[in-house]
Amino acid sequence: YLGKDFLVKSSYGHIRDLVKGDMGIDIANNFHQTYEVPPDKKQVVAELKKLAKDAEMVWLASDEDREGEAISWHLFETLGLKEAKTKRIVFHEITKPAILKAIETPRTIDYNLVHAQQARRVLDRLVGFELSPVLWKKVKPSLSAGRVQSVAVRLIVDREREVNKFSATAAFKITAQFTTGKGREIVKAELPHRFDKEADAEQFVNDCISANFTVSNLETKPAKRNPAAPFTTSTLQQEASRKLGYSVSRTMQIAQRLYESGRITYMRTDSVNLSDTALQAAAAEINSAWGEKYHQLRVYKTKSAGAQEAHEAIRPTYFNHHTVPGDSSEQRLYELIWKRAIASQMSEALFEKTTAQIGISTRKENLVAEGEVLKFDGFLKVYLESHDDEDAEEADDNNMLPPLTRGQQLELKELNATERFSRPPARYTEASLVKKLEELGIGRPSTYAPTISTIQNRGYVVKEERDGRQRSFSAITLADGKVSKQIKTEITGAEKGKLFPTDIGEVVNDFLVEHFKGIVDFNFTANVEKEFDEIAQGLQEWTKMLHSFYTPFHIEVETTLENADRANGERLLGIDPVSGKNVYAKVGRYGPLVQIGELTDDENDKPRYASLAKSQTVATVNLEDALEQFKLPFQLEDYQGKEVSVGVGRFGPYVKWGEAYISVPKNEDPLTIDIDRAIEIIGEKITADAPIAEFDGLPV
């Protein structure tokens, strides 16, 4: 785009950071920072220094956000650049017009943005550097804590406890299917309320045996649906999770590649704005593809706190590019972005919604049938937004009703009274956690993905599938004039891709809630984010903000180190019927465990310990299941002259064969393993470890 006089080079992100192994911050000297160039960036810096020295002008073109501005400032300082030979340019899409416009309108480094980044970096280093040793001493060695991450863990812990405390209530849902007579078309209806007692539901069904069913009222009215705004970072992460199954970090990695290849605008944004140029391009594409009646100019306003309206939403750089080259993940994410952006400028969808009241001659209640007919598809021609709907299985899709008239007699095909249960709050997915953090004003577009990765990498949270449990329910059916009752079963509580706190995550969370309320307080953390925004806008001095945070925080650290008891999440489960001693569940040095007995001075009366199974947690394990763990390890028959035993260790259950430890497959109960199953597990390990080929006579 710029001709042969320009040479474009990358710094590959930050080229220096606070020194490692030391705090790197002189608190007494107004939070002065000591930076270093890490080893993996020394060659990059050396090359950039040489090129900058020989250049007539250096153009700093990092992203226009706090981190991007800080990168430009670090380059300016580290490369020894001069203001007269340095210009700062910004663009939000890698296209020729955007880059040429940036060259025409350079600026200087925005030190307000730099100071906002420094404030965040320093504050997070202070929290990590002072809080982690407290956790080492009071909870467990090698732990660490972060400001935003700790709040994210608290959300997940709080939700898990809500789920575990939840007690489901049952009620009977009435549904019916009718036919219209001649056309034999199906009408689905439902009773608006539910029966708390099975006897009342059964009475309702019995009353319907000889009933006549008549359309008592018919109401038809227009309805409309508007498109969603174009994507922000948060909504892209949520929708890519729901529609494509991508993790938050994967979405950002793919979006980064699309941005760098000039396919989309900058992907870290909380704005829903579209530029005038983009609005015109979208209009032209819509009018060309579907006609003017499908176009509707729409200007969206950003609702999230701290949003930067100067930025744009995530959109294609060229609306006439419906697809892009690249791997399938890039193509799928681009298609999602293109559809969402183009749909945001399209007409509303128009429906005709019909509600039929169906009278029952033997009852005072009415059944209700609802349906809708799409009259004009509008934006639905391109895109339909997804939702995290935990009640999806309870709801029928919007169905079309056949033509009905008031007073029309309907023939009952089947009527069901089915026992249904209230649901606990939904556990968080990565995407719904991002949504919650955004609602609370915690974190910013650049921090959502790293936060969610960090809490998993630190072992405070796991994302996994969990099996459900079988549940019985009653079902009463009226068909062909006869009532039948059945007890059916279903699987409930199965989870896929949900976030669960680990035992150590719960212990650390509870310790922080007790001793460092500010760190895990939602409002406090959101207010800190607002203060960073104020620094970025030049409304607050960054070192004053740090002093106001650090002074009370440091006092809390000193007080906690001196006075707080050790934390291990200990729960008294009951009494061991064999020894008569107390049984506890808690977090030990190597993970969650069960303990029988107390620590005493008597060398002959030491507590006994057993690791919890992977499926068990300190918070939920009961006495019976805990005592089962003391059956491990147990000896089996020898195999091929070597001893075979089953046990559980730091890394989970295992089969020991001679000196070899072989992991038991995930979700298999080690207590059920006999010698035949142990031999199978040993054989699978031998097969997996066997050489697959030979090279120069050597196995590989």
**Residues 343, 319 contacting (CB under 8 angstroms):** no
Residue of 72 and 672 predicted with greater confidence: 72
Nearest in space to 644 (alpha carbons), one of 679, 683, 671, 685: 679
Give the count of alpha carbons within 13 A of 76, CB side only. Answer: 22
Angle (CA) 488 474 469, round 5° = 50
Tokens of 123: 């504050």
Average pLDDT over residues 561-583: 91
Tokens of 622: 């009961």
In sequence order, the β-bridge partners of residue 372 are 353
Strand 86-88 to strand 58-60: parallel, antiparallel, or no bridges (unpaired)?
A: parallel
How does 273-295 read in b/e, with b if 16+ C-beta sit within 10 Å?
bbeeebbebbbebbeeebeeebb
**Residues 279, 286 contacting (CB under 8 angstroms):** no
pLDDT score, position 697: 56
CA distance 565 to 336: 51
pLDDT score, position 423: 95
**Residues 388, 431 contacting (CB under 8 angstroms):** yes
Q: What percent of the chain has pLDDT over 70?
A: 95
CA distance 439 to 428: 14
pLDDT at 395 over 50: no
Helix, strand, coil percentages (3-state) for the chain, rounded to 5, are 40, 25, 40
Average pLDDT over residues 289-317: 82
Tokens of 407: 């007073």
Residue 212 phi, psi dihedral angles, 5° rounding: -100, 145
DSSP string, 653-699: EEEEETTEEEEPPTT--GGG--HHHHHHHHHHHHHHHS---EETTEE
Average pLDDT over residues 580-606: 85
**Residues 209, 478 contacting (CB under 8 angstroms):** yes
Average pLDDT over residues 653-676: 89
Tokens of 532: 């960073």
Query: Which strands form 608-611's sheet, in the order they lie side by side?
Result: 571-575, 582-588, 591-596, 608-611
pLDDT tens, 111-168? 999 999 999 999 999 999 999 999 999 998 889 888 899 999 999 999 999 999 999 9
CA distance 363 to 197: 17
pLDDT band for 694, please (50, 70, 90 cuts): low
For the chain, the distance separating the N- and C-terminal CA atoms, rounded to the nearest angstrom, is: 50
| DSSP at 336 | H
pLDDT score, position 221: 95
Look over the chain and give the mean of its residue pLDDT values, rounded to a whole number.
90
Start-end of H helices in 344-441? 430-440
Residue of 592 and 649 predicted with greater confidence: 592
Average pLDDT over residues 628-632: 85
CA distance 375 to 380: 11
**Residues 252, 267 contacting (CB under 8 angstroms):** yes
Start-end of H helices in 245-361? 248-260, 276-290, 328-343
pLDDT at 695 over 70: no
CA distance 324 to 341: 15
pLDDT score, position 485: 96
pLDDT score, position 632: 82
Tell me if residue 12 is catalytic. Answer: no
Q: Where do we find the tokens 């199978």?
A: 680
CA distance 456 to 603: 40
pLDDT band for 392, please (50, 70, 90 cuts): very low
pLDDT at 375 over 50: yes
Please give the C-alpha separations between residue 644 and each of 634, 659, 674, in angstroms, as whole numbers. Answer: 9, 10, 10
pLDDT at 194 over 50: yes
Tokens of 288: 């060309």
Q: What is the dihedral of CA 179, 184, 188, 194, to 10 degrees?
A: 20
Please give the C-alpha separations between residue 579 and each of 76, 576, 596, 597, 627, in angstroms, as whole numbers. Answer: 71, 6, 9, 9, 12
Average pLDDT over residues 472-483: 96
* Active-site residue, from 246, 259, 266, 428: 266
**Amino acid in position 691:** P
Q: What angle separates helix 430-440 from helix 448-457, to the nearest 10 degrees? A: 120
In sequence order, the β-bridge partners of residue 367 are 358
**Residues 26, 32 contacting (CB under 8 angstroms):** yes
Start-end of H helices in 442-541? 448-457, 503-515, 517-520, 522-536
CA distance 212 to 209: 9
Nearest in space to 636 (alpha carbons), one of 677, 668, 608, 667: 677
Domains, in order of start, for the chain? 17-109 (3.40.50.140), 170-226+350-387+396-422+461-496 (2.70.20.10), 233-347 (1.10.290.10), 571-629 (no CATH), 634-689 (no CATH)
pLDDT score, position 481: 92
Output the pTM of the full model.
0.85
- H/E stretch holding 133 reads helix 111-138
**SS3 for 497?**
strand
Q: How far is CA 112 from the centre of its chain?
A: 32
**Residues 113, 69 contacting (CB under 8 angstroms):** yes
Work out whether the CA dihedral 317, 320, 326, 330 comes out positive or negative: positive
What are the residues whose beta carbons fall under 8 Å from the beta carbon of 219, sequence distance 6 or more? Answer: 354, 355, 356
Start-end of H helices in 30-85? 42-54, 66-78
- H/E stretch holding 132 reads helix 111-138
**Residues 464, 454 contacting (CB under 8 angstroms):** no
CA distance 509 to 204: 50
CA distance 323 to 379: 19
pLDDT tens, 511-551? 999 999 988 999 998 999 999 999 999 999 999 999 999 99
Q: Where do we find the tokens 């023939």?
A: 411
Q: What percent of the chain has pLDDT over 90?
A: 71
Work out whether the CA dihedral 63, 69, 71, 77 comes out positive or negative: positive
| DSSP at 227 | P
